[in-house]
Amino acid sequence: MAVSKSEGAMIELKIDNQIVEVQEGETVLQVALRSGIEIPSFCYHPCMSIAGNCRICLVQVNGRPKLMPACNLPVTPGMEIETHSNAVIEARKAIMQFISLNHPGDCGICDKAGECKLQEYHMRYGDYDPLSIEPKSRMPKFYNLSERILLDNERCILCSRCVRFTREISKTNQLGIVERGSHSRVERLECATFDDPYSDNVVVNCPTGALLSRDFLYKSRIWYLETVRSICTGCARGCSVNVWRRNKNWYVRGSGADKNLLAYRISPLDNPEINGPWLCNKGFDLHKLTAKPRVLAPAIAGRDVTIDEAIEAARQMLADAKKPAAIVSAHASNEELETFKNALGDRVAIYTRQDYQPEAGEVVEDSFLIKADKNPNSYSVQALFGNQPFDAGKGHDLVLLWGDNLDYASLGGARVIHLSSFEESQEQPASVLIPISTFFERSGSFCNFEGTRNNFEKVFDKPTLVQHAGDLFGRL
């Protein structure tokens, strides 16, 4: 278990001749990480047990010749730590030699280049010329741990982060280190696949290119990309994520320009209040969610029209309706919901729903991150409008349907104004169909199942004819 920051007494010690105030129960590495003092580490992870196997965090204590690993070094009063003494620098060089002794020089073809801790530390702490003239050991290379994850045992430095993740965090125990000594390697059970619902976290956690995402494989060098803060809409946990898109200085011109509108990959964004540094596989697939075929053009009864024609038709229908209703989307942002309430709150009967239900084969709920409610903003919908499932028996003649995944036929024969993002097949076309933006195309916020508010930012511009739902309500 990680050493917890217990309510210990405050004590003073010296790190690199600077006096630092620390809490009893902390380790020297924890102190360094939160104070911006440089001590390298591979195997340490704040949320997992201390492994102490990489040995790169060795520091000098009170001038003694035997160096100690900072990750497992409890602070004591009057301690004097040196992080850059000659002994420490020599030790780091030696450790880097050992770590990269059998590491293949794959950087040119390895996805991890540019975000690889091994590369970074090699340049910073290692020797340029390797000492070894022995041929490098061969290991199982570049094979499927599952259909999502690739494992390359030659690149692995056996820090055990992935193993500890499946043991302590996702608790599936699907990864382990087998064999002894220099034959050690990470492996899964032969008779099973690595189908841990949180498997992709090991790719983020791996300090080298040993574990890679098949989905992201060879799509881009990461230095062409940048991150945008967003939220996963896969369930009501609303984990914070980073969406990776192309940096505009690296935009592709000519053919392939569609890459500039591509969400290359998703990674967790550390949010101590909601998901910590973790994300489930559905979250890692968020970019697939938003890449489904879109509704791109307004239509009246299936016939393409201009946006103004569509809005006018909708407005007219709402005004004429005897018993209009609206079904609110649980994927709507807080801002959109506010606007809706102000513009239409008094004019229509408001119903709520959970747009998406768990699908067959999907984890419904677990004791870690995944919630049964597969929608990001049910909390706010409930807070504003209560819980009102649509009643077809109430005789509504017009329904303003906001969101997707609902069969028009279940609306009791009412005419439908559909504010829709994703293409879907219906028996009859909607009376009015207005394409609306996804949360990737605007900024806003959701409230997760605990009511914690979280912000997301715009990743891409919306397609030309697509509207922001929030802009529409005032015009209806």
User: Binding to other proteins by residue 78, rule CB under 8 A?
Assistant: no
What does 48-66 look like in DSSP terms, one character per residue? S-----S-TTEEEETT-SS
Q: Considering beta carbons, is residue 190 or 258 the nearer one to other proteins?
A: 190
Task: Residue 152: name the closest of 185, 119, 123, 181 by CA.
Answer: 185
Q: Which helix (H) or strand (E) covers residue 317, if one does?
A: helix 307-320
Task: Residue 48: name the closest of 164, 131, 147 by CA.
Answer: 164
Q: Considering beta carbons, is residue 1 or 360 the nearer one to other proteins?
A: 1
Among 32, 54, 225, 350, binds other proteins (CB under 8 A): 54
Q: Please answer whether residues 334 and 467 qualify as being in contact, where contact means their C-beta atoms are separated by less than 8 angstroms.
A: no
Among 11, 16, 24, 72, binds other proteins (CB under 8 A): 72
Report CA-CA distances (Å) from 215 to 212, 231, 266, 324.
9, 20, 10, 45
- DSSP for residue 234: S
Q: Considering beta carbons, is residue 164 or 353 the nearer one to other proteins?
A: 164
**What is the closest distance, in whole angstroms, from the C-beta atom of residue 54 to other proteins in the complex?**
6
User: Binding to other proteins by residue 181, rule CB under 8 A?
Assistant: yes
Residues 6+ apart with CB under 8 A from 14: 20, 79, 80, 81
User: Binding to other proteins by residue 69, rule CB under 8 A?
Assistant: yes
Among 9, 89, 109, 131, binds other proteins (CB under 8 A): 131
Q: Provide the pairing of β-strand 324-328 with 398-402.
A: parallel
User: Binding to other proteins by residue 128, rule CB under 8 A?
Assistant: no
Q: Please answer whether residues 45 and 161 qualify as being in contact, where contact means their C-beta atoms are separated by less than 8 angstroms.
A: yes
Among 6, 35, 144, 182, binds other proteins (CB under 8 A): 182
User: Binding to other proteins by residue 177, rule CB under 8 A?
Assistant: yes
User: Binding to other proteins by residue 193, rule CB under 8 A?
Assistant: no
Among 157, 344, 411, 466, binds other proteins (CB under 8 A): 157
**What is the closest distance, in whole angstroms, from the C-beta atom of residue 124 to other proteins in the complex?**
17
Q: Which of residues 300-359 bind other proteins (CB under 8 A)?
A: none
Helix pair angle (378-385, 334-344), 10° resolution: 30
User: Binding to other proteins by residue 167, rule CB under 8 A?
Assistant: yes
- Which three-class secondary structure state does DSSP give residue 391? coil
What does 265-309 look like in DSSP terms, one character per residue? EEEE--BTTTTBT---HHHHTHHHHTTSPBP-S-EETTEE--HHH
Q: Please answer whether residues 275 and 368 qualify as being in contact, where contact means their C-beta atoms are separated by less than 8 angstroms.
A: no
Among 15, 175, 262, 321, binds other proteins (CB under 8 A): 175
User: Binding to other proteins by residue 190, rule CB under 8 A?
Assistant: yes
Task: Residue 310: name the closest of 290, 291, 296, 321 by CA.
Answer: 296
Helix pair angle (117-125, 86-99), 10° resolution: 140
User: Binding to other proteins by residue 99, rule CB under 8 A?
Assistant: yes
Q: Distance between CA 50 and CA 15 in Å, rounded?
A: 21
Among 9, 12, 74, 342, binds other proteins (CB under 8 A): 74
Segment lying near other proteins (by CB under 8 A), choices 93-101, 111-119, 255-263, 286-294 = 93-101
Q: Please answer whether residues 374 and 282 qualify as being in contact, where contact means their C-beta atoms are separated by less than 8 angstroms.
A: no
Among 58, 162, 289, 430, binds other proteins (CB under 8 A): 58
Give start and end residues of each alpha helix (H) in 18-170: 28-35, 86-99, 117-125, 161-164
Segment lying near other proteins (by CB under 8 A), choices 97-105, 279-287, 291-299, 396-404 = 97-105
Among 30, 41, 153, 174, binds other proteins (CB under 8 A): 174
**What is the closest distance, in whole angstroms, from the C-beta atom of residue 192 to other proteins in the complex?**
8
**What is the closest distance, in whole angstroms, from the C-beta atom of residue 56 to other proteins in the complex?**
8
Q: Considering beta carbons, is residue 52 or 104 the nearer one to other proteins?
A: 52
Residues 6+ apart with CB under 8 A from 73: 27, 28, 29, 59, 61
Q: Distance between CA 463 and CA 443 in Å, rounded?
A: 15
Segment lying near other proteins (by CB under 8 A), choices 62-70, 112-120, 278-286, 361-369 = 62-70
User: Binding to other proteins by residue 129, rule CB under 8 A?
Assistant: no
x/- track of binding to other proteins for residues 5-44 (CB under 8 A): ----------------------------------------
Report CA-CA distances (Å) from 395 to 23, 323, 431.
66, 7, 17
| Count of positions on this chain that bind other proteins (CB under 8 A) | 47
Dig out the tokens for 42 from the structure: 């591979």
**What is the closest distance, in whole angstroms, from the C-beta atom of residue 19 to other proteins in the complex?**
24
User: Binding to other proteins by residue 101, rule CB under 8 A?
Assistant: yes
User: Binding to other proteins by residue 119, rule CB under 8 A?
Assistant: no
Segment lying near other proteins (by CB under 8 A), choices 10-18, 183-191, 193-201, 268-276 = 183-191
Instruction: Please give the angle made by the CA atoms of 338, 342 and 345, to the nearest 5 degrees.
Output: 105
**What is the closest distance, in whole angstroms, from the C-beta atom of residue 158 to other proteins in the complex?**
7
- Chain residues in the site for other proteins (CB under 8 A): 50, 52-56, 58, 65-67, 69, 72, 74, 90-91, 93-95, 97-99, 101-102, 131-134, 137, 157-158, 167, 173-184, 188-191
